[in-house]
Chain A
Amino acid sequence: MRYSIIIPVFNKADLTKQCLDALPATIADAGEGEVIVVDNASSDHTQRVLAAYPWIRVITNERNLGFAAANNQAARIARGEFLVLLNNDTEPWPGWLASMLRHAAQPDVGAVGALLLYPNKTVQHGGVAVAGNPFGRQQFQPFHHNYLVPFEDPDVRRTQEFQIVTGACLLTPRALYERLGGLDEGYWNGYEDVDYCLKVGRAGMRVVYDGEAVLYHFESQSGIQRFRKTIWNTELLDRRWRGSVRFDAAEKMLARGYVRHPLRGSRLGGINAHVLHLRPINVVVHGEEPPEGRAAFERRLRCTRAPVGAIVWALGDDALATAREAMRIRGARFTAFVRGAAEPSEGWLDELVRQLSATPTTFAAAYAPEIASDVDNVVALAADGRCLLVHLMRVPAHMRLEAFDSLDASLADLGLRMLPLGFGTRIAQGVFAVPPVREDASFESRHGRPLAAVLRGEPEAVEAELRARPRRARGLVSIVTLSWNAPQYTKIALESIRTHTSEPYEVIVVDNGSGPETVSMLREIDDPHVRVIYNERNRGFGGGNNDGIAVARGEFVVVLNNDVVVTDGWLDSLLDPFDRIPSVGVTAPRTNKIVGDQQVVDASYADIEGMHAYAARRRRSYARRGYLTDRAIGFCLCIDRRVIEEIGGFDERFEMGNFEDDDFSVRVRAAGYEIYVCEDSFIHHFGSRSFVANDVDYASTMRENWSRFAEKWGYPDEFPTNGYDPRKAIYGGFDRARHFAPLPTRRVAGAVLEPGTVVPREYDVVFAAFVRDEADWGNVAEFTKRYFIAFDAEAPVTLAIAGSGDPNALTIARRVERTLQKLDQTPERCADVEIRDEEDLAAWRSSLPERVTIDIERIVDRSPSALRRLLRGVSA
């Protein structure tokens, strides 16, 4: 007899009937066989159902013996050459058994599994792959390969070898089953099939998954015991097989192109499955020319299952730039670095991919024979670039390779910088022929140790490295706040900042064209921390804030709405994550009123005292807690200066308000920085006061700005009433050419605010202008326009403007910039301007070089040609 099909059952009589009904037609081509059903003491009408099939043999147990014992029981009376373990919640497709028997006929095959589909024809089981478990009791995690993939997928239908196939449908030679002791009855309805397959492998036999043998699997559960014993089963499996199971998930990835992998946490600390796609890997060759010549070397590099993309030669002076570019190739997920003196052997890249996918706390994998061994769990403190594969998605986009004498050192330096972010470098198994470590003086000089020393990565060394990281000094914080009428709110906000901020700070109020009441209030501010920029018209949220950011001097810039009340410790809490989490670029607080999840739900205070008490409680309870997010609302953002340098300010295409903060968040994330919402920083927000005070059609503004956002980032134009997924834009990456949002130039303002930075220059003519009030400005503005038309940057002239308060120098600077914009000129190409705040105009005037200074009031013909003539005359 060729086969014995064994079906253990416990209740679910209807499913058993369905399975038995389907059998005869689907096994007709499989030769002679028998079907044995083991009823594990079902309490439903299973016995009645079984009685209707005279061609089956039935074993009736008085108690539920479990899956393993029932199969073993049937195997003892089976007569077939092959045993087929089959669940009763399956429905076979035609030809399934004949196909499995064909594979089983090969002498070295010890087990054959089948493709099991859900009723919707997605994969329930397509072989079992094994991944390492980075943090948990169980060292390895078996999981269904191709789970939920449509069955039409070629990889699903491909017959291939695995270590494990499921026992829901498993064919094995009876003699082997007996020799291996059958299924281990120590397991209770779980993992006995995994254990059996591993025993088959240990016996030197192959486990084959047959993609042509197809069954539906309804995957019903037979009661709670199945899960109750899960832990026991897991423990037993782990005890038995720890250290002897190969983590083959990556191998399957190489064949398939992707693998499911746990990658990162969610807000609540859980770990989400992540699908890791393997795209062609670009290889950077550096260090030296390969002795065998480039073409031969390239051929060797391509002898690997992992797909090799472009091979980039980074030799000579521009090696660093070439390497940097290779790491920024759009769409690339990995970049490999290989020294020209290395000798890549077949499969060199596959092992690196395997190591990289082993844990979510690895950003690179390398060959380093100095510390490599046959132990599959070695991590380097950092590895040099002799043969290194970098997982680009784990390297924040802003972390570039830095300049050292060699790329080896640049890459090791990157590794050291990645450690505080929580990522190490795994060492590949086996000895790959790489040259010895080439020491690098620049590295040793900067890090105080030779390059070879950073290879050793015992936990103690990693710990020492983490502890050695210096805490970041906080420095000055610039708070930029917009004002657009509603002066009472600005006043409250400023007062609360004054009262509740203990860190060194400055406030830059940017008035976006408010009415006289607000301007008057701002003029009365007598606080050395506060500077005011007066804009003639509303430059919108982005433009106004950019005006402030451009003149901010702080190491951090807080963009803060004016309709807020800050609370004790607000800024300390916003700054704290920058110390703790190196990848954080922006932080934001919680509040009582905002769109999205920054709004708290339990803020039920009735007055300002109650609000402060609530905030204090919250600060205590939630100390140093928060969550990473892809989007923070612009009512309060604390931005690291390096982020601004990397991505610029707000994009001014968004008018008035809405979506400029979304855009900013996307750019922050795309540049590889994290956004962290601080649970312990609470700010009261009155909410949309400017919109209310200025009677703005909020909805219409929002729709218009969405259109701009959608166009910029490639979303559909239709307004997303249920929100949108920012990851689409983030994953596109940050492209400086397209995404950098320039701030208003600092050159004009810089001359005023940072005089030390201006290079002294000799002028043939200095035009002097006083701005005592707005009327004066009207006169100066007209002159300024003609001045810019008349002269360019090469002209030996400057326009010196002094403001005595209103408008002040900052405001004048902004206006001058806009004049330039209107003339379509850039600050770099225009003639020089110096703008100062001066209380004593006479003193200022006398400080100018008398011989060449001309007061503009004295110039009658101010046409550009007249001004040029004037210069020529003076110069002559």
Chain B
Amino acid sequence: MRLFEHYANLRPRYHEAYARDRLRASNLVAARLEMVYTHRFEGYLDLAFERDGSWLIVPLVRIDGGCLMVQEASPLIWPAEYAYASDAVDEIEELVIPWLRSVVIARLVNDEFIRVFRDEPTCADVFRRARRSALLGSAPYADVFRTLGAAVYGARFARERNVVLRGSDAANGAAMLSSFARRIAWTCEDDDVARTWFSGLSTTSIEGDGYDLYVGPRDGAIDAHTCVFDDAAREGERRVVQPEPMPADVLVSFDPEDGLVMREFAVTESAVPLRGSRLFEPSRAGASAGRIAIVVRDDAERAPDADSDAAHELARSLQAEGFDARVDIASHIDAASVDVIHVFDLRHGVSVIELARDAEAAGTPIVVTSYADDRAGEVGRGISGALAIPRMALDRLVFDETMHAFEARRISNLDNDPWYGASADLLMQRAAAVVVASNAEALFLQERFGYRGVTVPVAATVPLTRPTDRIGSLVGNEEFVLIHAPLEPRANQLAATVAAERRGIRLVLVGPVADVEYQRYVNQAAGRYTIQLRDSDLTPEELAGLYARARVVADVGWSSRGLHRLARGAAHGAAVVASVTGYAHDLWAELAFLVDPANVGAIGEALHRAWEAQPQLANAIAARTAERCDPFAGLVAVVSAYGQASVPNPT
């Protein structure tokens, strides 16, 4: 029996005993096959079982189309929660697979195919009516998921809560939220067939009050702590948009870049408790002068990361001290018209080479904040593997097996290109001073680039934006692990998501989408415990609020861009989980939980331990962070680097 864990948040949850009784070949009423848009031969199967008038709906069974044609293994990959039913599954596969194969032989399989296995009038009638009502498991995904937006968004508020739903989308929403909520009450127009179709779910009719979450129309809304209205947002509410669902891996999205926006919701806002920070805005002396060009990656605007945060924060601090400091990409900078060029990150395009040459011609010194952290020389390989593994591992067994091999460094056919290109070599040759996070980084620069010039240690430049506590509409009231990085293999969010989901740890991923294919895999893995937010949807204060609310901050990427984002959370007392590839140990020593980014199990364990230990570690972490990341000391150090780089008249 092949299993997978994808889309756990979208499937209704039944009691095991109930499901066992119905999950049998003899109870199978209908199967619905629908193709999805991927680059693989892939589709999904919805199965509906009935026994004695009660139904079991198993949607989103994955079809490995390759195995329908080349019979290497079963083409059906089952939701992991049915692992206990392997014998029943064997019988069901024996019934279903010949049908699937016949479809593949006899047709171009591009559409929806339905096979009714039991044509008793009652069953067939229920199936037909469910389909007309676009109930989950009976109708095309685009129709079903169009109705699910509000509930999917509301899921972040639903865990172990009392939930109530009303309106035309309530039945599907209730089915989907059944895997989250403690108690669910709902009503909808086609109540009769919907209650039959979802008869196995422990839901009730609406009675009384005391609900934590309401999902439905604003008119006739039931009072609850949080409401997700199927309506335009009013003042004080958060506007959430839902693009048209595609029959693909992005089934329900709140990102307008995923398609044409077709619905919007309003979410009532609430405050959450925040932790205070130990980092404070330093008093400004001012009166300094000098023209500083701070250079960021060409794609920094599109894919902001810790380096660009730090660059902007440094620019703000320098400006406050009277410097003429601006942040820009290399091709926009005129080397002759500035006194210092401060390049953030070593991974730049060719334009930085031109800039470095211009700087040399103009006699303008270059200071580099290197973020050089590929000491083991495996970042290229790591990134390649982080994408290749989900690409080829269709089921959990292959995923785990491949991850084990990856962790043991047994997979050899991965891209092992040097992580640093020609621009890094040139920058390090031309750098008059380098800002490093730790002595270990300085040593690495010496070993990797032969750099023996001035190094200035500045652990992290942390943005000091004042947080807002009005972030309840984003993340609910529960604590979470925060990973703030562009969604891409380098940042390794997939491993963190799988680890968190398996451990039942709430994870909030914040960042732009830098790699769309990788986003697909993260979407699939993001189940009941993961929330994804686009940082472009957040105000700086809301982002600061997330840091102040996070219980754990994590960076399990193959290469980070410094310690800034970890330090930002740690300043509030959040526990730190970081990759061994970076320099977290130099900053927090034993207070940080270090992991191998290839080891999903270790990441899960570290997240769990950090979560448990946070209350005890909070003060020590915050104090250590405040001590090592003092904004004023950091600014002084950077300015001294400018001085040592012989910047004329730096102060």
Task: Write out the residue numbers on chain A whose beta carbons fall within 8 Å of the beta carbon of B516.
Answer: 224, 227-228, 230
Nearest chain-A residue to B99 (Cβ)?
A463
Q: A232-B259, A268-B392 are in contact. Are A137 and B106 (CB under 8 A)?
A: no
B40 contact from A238, A271, A581, A624, Cβ within 8 A: A271
B72 contact from A223, A359, A626, Cβ within 8 A: A626
Task: Write out the residue numbers on chain B whose beta carbons fall within 8 Å of the beta carbon of A465.
Answer: 102
Contact with A along B342-386 (1 / 0, CB 8 A): 000000001100000000000000000000000000000000000
- On chain B, the number of residues with a Cβ less than 8 Å from chain A's Cβ atoms is 65
Task: Write out the residue numbers on chain A whose beta carbons fall within 8 Å of the beta carbon of B146.
Answer: none
Task: Write out the residue numbers on chain B whose beta carbons fall within 8 Å of the beta carbon of A627.
Answer: 72-73
Task: Write out the residue numbers on chain A whose beta carbons fall within 8 Å of the beta carbon of B260.
Answer: 232
Q: A135-B43, A228-B257, A466-B102 are in contact. Are A377 and B107 (CB under 8 A)?
A: yes
For the complex, what is the distance from the CA of A98 to the CA of B249, rounded to whole Å? Answer: 46
Q: A135-B109, A136-B110, A138-B110 are in contact. Are A264 and B70 (CB under 8 A)?
A: yes
> Are A137 and B247 touching (Cβ within 8 A)?
yes
Q: B205 at the A/B interface (Cβ < 8 Å)?
A: no
For the complex, what is the distance from the CA of A360 to the CA of B105, rounded to whole Å? Answer: 9
- On chain A, the number of residues with a Cβ less than 8 Å from chain B's Cβ atoms is 67
For the complex, what is the distance from the CA of A360 to the CA of B69, rounded to whole Å? Answer: 8
Task: Write out the residue numbers on chain A whose beta carbons fall within 8 Å of the beta carbon of B331.
Answer: 13, 44-45
Q: A235-B37, A459-B102, A466-B101 are in contact. Are A625 and B302 (CB under 8 A)?
A: no
> Are A269 and B72 touching (Cβ within 8 A)?
yes
> Are B104 and A234 touching (Cβ within 8 A)?
no
Q: B633 at the A/B interface (Cβ < 8 Å)?
A: no
Q: A43-B329, A231-B246, A265-B67 are in contact. Are A135 and B298 (CB under 8 A)?
A: no
Task: Write out the residue numbers on chain B whose beta carbons fall within 8 Å of the beta carbon of A139.
Answer: 108, 110
> Are A377 and B101 touching (Cβ within 8 A)?
no
Task: Write out the residue numbers on chain B whose beta carbons fall within 8 Å of the beta carbon of A626.
Answer: 72-73
For the complex, what is the distance from the CA of A234 to the CA of B43, rounded to whole Å? Answer: 16
> Are B72 and A267 touching (Cβ within 8 A)?
yes
Q: A422 at the A/B interface (Cβ < 8 Å)?
A: yes
Q: A875 at the A/B interface (Cβ < 8 Å)?
A: no
For the complex, what is the distance from the CA of A232 to the CA of B255, rounded to whole Å? Answer: 14
Task: Write out the residue numbers on chain B whose beta carbons fall within 8 Å of the beta carbon of A628.
Answer: 70, 72
B361 to chain A, nearest CB (A): 18
A602 to chain B, nearest CB (A): 6
B104 contact from A14, A44, A134, A377, Cβ within 8 A: A134
Q: A133 at the A/B interface (Cβ < 8 Å)?
A: yes
Interface residues of A in 380-438 (CB under 8 A from B): 419, 422-424
> Are A270 and B108 touching (Cβ within 8 A)?
no
Interface residues of B in 389-440 (CB under 8 A from A): 392-394, 397-398, 401, 404-405, 408, 410
Q: A225-B257, A264-B69 are in contact. Are A44 and B43 (CB under 8 A)?
A: no
Q: How many A-B residue pairs have CB under 8 A?
A: 178
B205 to chain A, nearest CB (A): 38
Contact with B along A662-689 (1 / 0, CB 8 A): 0000000000000010010000000000
Q: B124 at the A/B interface (Cβ < 8 Å)?
A: no
> Are B394 and A422 touching (Cβ within 8 A)?
no
For the complex, what is the distance from the CA of A422 to the CA of B98, rounded to whole Å? Answer: 10
> Are B98 and A266 touching (Cβ within 8 A)?
no
> Are A580 and B71 touching (Cβ within 8 A)?
yes
Q: B68 at the A/B interface (Cβ < 8 Å)?
A: yes
Q: B88 at the A/B interface (Cβ < 8 Å)?
A: no
For the complex, what is the distance from the CA of A623 to the CA of B83, rounded to whole Å? Answer: 13
Q: Max chain A CB contacts within 10 Å: which of B40, B43, B108, B405? A: B108
Q: A215 at the A/B interface (Cβ < 8 Å)?
A: no
Task: Write out the residue numbers on chain A whose beta carbons fall within 8 Å of the beta carbon of B644.
Answer: none
Q: B137 at the A/B interface (Cβ < 8 Å)?
A: no
> Are B401 and A270 touching (Cβ within 8 A)?
no
Interface residues of A in 448-486 (CB under 8 A from B): 457-460, 462-463, 465-467
Contact with A along B248-263 (1 / 0, CB 8 A): 1010000001111000
Task: Write out the residue numbers on chain B whose beta carbons fall within 8 Å of the beta carbon of A267.
Answer: 72
Q: B35 at the A/B interface (Cβ < 8 Å)?
A: yes
Q: A137-B247, A424-B105, A627-B72 are in contact. Are A466 and B98 (CB under 8 A)?
A: yes
Q: B337 at the A/B interface (Cβ < 8 Å)?
A: no
> Are B73 and A625 touching (Cβ within 8 A)?
yes
B65 contact from A135, A223, A460, Cβ within 8 A: A135
Q: A44-B332, A135-B43, A466-B102 are in contact. Are A265 and B392 (CB under 8 A)?
A: no
Task: Write out the residue numbers on chain B whose beta carbons fall within 8 Å of the beta carbon of A462.
Answer: 101-102, 105-106
B125 to chain A, nearest CB (A): 22
Task: Write out the residue numbers on chain A whose beta carbons fall within 8 Å of the beta carbon of B109.
Answer: 134-136
Task: Write out the residue numbers on chain B whose beta carbons fall within 8 Å of the beta carbon of A377.
Answer: 107-108
Q: B276 at the A/B interface (Cβ < 8 Å)?
A: no
B394 to chain A, nearest CB (A): 6
For the complex, what is the distance from the CA of A227 to the CA of B408, rounded to whole Å? Answer: 33
Q: Given contacts A358-B108, A423-B105, list 17 more A-B pairs with CB under 8 A.
A: A43-B301, A135-B104, A136-B35, A136-B109, A137-B110, A137-B248, A228-B258, A235-B246, A265-B69, A361-B69, A361-B104, A462-B101, A462-B105, A466-B98, A466-B102, A624-B74, A628-B70
* Chain B interface (Cβ < 8 Å from any Cβ of A): 1-2, 35-38, 40-43, 64-74, 86, 98-99, 101-110, 246-248, 250, 257-260, 298, 301-302, 329, 331-332, 350-351, 392-394, 397-398, 401, 404-405, 408, 410, 513-517
Instruction: List 10 A-B residue pairs with CB atoms under 8 Å apart, sorted by A's residue number.
Output: A13-B331, A45-B332, A132-B108, A136-B43, A224-B515, A228-B513, A266-B66, A271-B40, A361-B105, A424-B106
* Chain A interface (Cβ < 8 Å from any Cβ of B): 13-14, 43-45, 132-139, 223-225, 227-232, 234-235, 238, 242, 264-271, 358-361, 377, 379, 419, 422-424, 457-460, 462-463, 465-467, 580-581, 601-602, 621-628, 676, 679
